[in-house]
Amino acid sequence: MVGRRRKLRNIGADHSDVCFKPCGIRGIDLEYIELYEDEMEAIRLSDYEGLYQQECADTMGISRTTFSRLVESARKKIADALIHKKALNIKTDKK
């Protein structure tokens, strides 16, 4: 079964070529977690810019519930990377 097509999201910052890794561990020895560009944008808007969820959702052109799911997913991935010493890679749709 094929799901619904993803709605185009407005991304206000360039998150390409961004990767974070723990200090002192070679990249080849790390497990990587992919944080999608829209998840990164959700974190930027809510946590860095300090906007309310509805404002963030409006800025990204998505519903508030979709925005809430993006933030929850992003925070879980970031916490996993920090706690378990994993690298965090921002995945963009750009080719």
CATH class of the domain defined by 19-91? mainly alpha
In the 8-state DSSP scheme, what is residue 25? S
Q: What is the mean pLDDT of residues 16-43?
A: 88
Q: Judge whether residue 75 has pLDDT over 70.
A: yes
Residues 6 or more apart whose CB falls under 8 angstroms from that of 85 comprise 22, 25, 30
Length of the chain counted residue by residue: 95
Q: Domain extents for the chain?
A: 19-91
Q: Judge whether residue 95 has pLDDT over 50.
A: no
- Tell me the pLDDT band of 19, cut-offs 50, 70 and 90: confident
In the 8-state DSSP scheme, what is residue 57? H
Q: Give 33-72 pLDDT, tens digit per residue.
A: 999 889 999 999 999 999 999 999 999 999 999 999 999 9
Q: What is the mean pLDDT of residues 13-40?
A: 85
CA atoms lying within 13 Å on the CB side of residue 81: 19
Q: How far apart are the first and last CA of the chain?
A: 27
- Tell me the pLDDT band of 82, cut-offs 50, 70 and 90: very high
